[in-house]
Chain A
Amino acid sequence: SQELEQSPQSLIVQEGKNLTINCTSSKTLYGLYWYKQKYGEGLIFLMMLQKGGEEKSHEKITAKLDEKKQQSSLHITASQPSHAGIYLCGAGHQAGTALIFGKGTTLSVSS
């Protein structure tokens, strides 16, 4: 069973629109990571959340962690073509255990 579920799987938005990507864990979270990947390239670290209620921002991207729901959301404001790519959430579920990832959300931004 998939321990980290991302939704939606893919998303097409018009430039300038806002969007949200969700990541839900079936187990207690021990750190939640967001990465971005351009097709065929490596992973770019966006941000990491640890505590319930924590919210972090990087340029026009904001991520929040709801520890009770074991869920994180990534929100992009006023999307641009440069935001296009694959967004991956990753999490640890216990100290000293592996970092696992969801299946990713592919974002396309049309101009």
Chain B
Amino acid sequence: NAGVTQTPKFQVLKTGQSMTLQCAQDMNHEYMSWYRQDPGMGLRLIHYSVGAGITDQGEVPNGYNVSRSTTEDFPLRLLSAAPSQTSVYFCASKLLGQGTEAFFGQGTRLTVV
């Protein structure tokens, strides 16, 4: 049982480049979400999904796109990377409903130069 798998673990991009951060879970969780973590800011929600075909914006969605074509995968796309997007990104998944544990990936450390 792999849990939540994020790839890559580290990435350096040049300003203006695009890329996709991958997130996959094998627990058949309906809910998946992406967060960014910056010093002193906790985890800020970027986008989330409550099922295949359903996505919604979080607190800081600008500059990011998501899609949820399958239950297992929830990729995060950076359309045109900016230095302000330098951060550590975490993906999480859980079953819908109260009282279910949220599982996190190990994170992707992204640097935009």
A residues touching B (Cβ–Cβ < 8 Å)?
6, 9, 30-31, 33, 35, 41-43, 45, 48, 50, 88, 90, 92, 95-96, 98-104
Contacts and interface: CB of A to CB of B under 8 A. Distances in A.
B98 A95 contact: yes
Interface magnitude class on chain B: 20 to 34
Interface of B: 31, 33, 35, 40-45, 48, 50, 56, 58-59, 90, 92, 94, 96-107
A98 B58 contact: yes
Contact of B99 (A45, A48, A96, A104): A48
Contact of A103 (B41, B56, B103): B41
B97 A88 contact: no
Given A42-B106, A45-B101, A100 B45 contact: yes
23 contacts: A33-B101, A33-B102, A41-B107, A42-B104, A42-B105, A42-B107, A45-B101, A45-B102, A45-B103, A50-B99, A88-B42, A95-B98, A96-B50, A96-B96, A98-B33, A99-B31, A99-B94, A100-B59, A101-B35, A101-B43, A101-B44, A103-B40, A103-B42
Nearest to A37: B37
| 9 nearest CB pairs, A to B | A103-B42, A101-B43, A98-B48, A104-B42, A43-B104, A50-B99, A42-B106, A31-B98, A101-B42
B8 to A, nearest CB: 15
A34 B73 CA distance: 25
Nearest to B31: A99
Given A42-B106, A99-B33, A101-B35, A50 B43 contact: no
A48 B94 CA distance: 13
A98 B56 contact: yes
A23 B100 CA distance: 19
A30 B100 CA distance: 11
Nearest to A106: B40
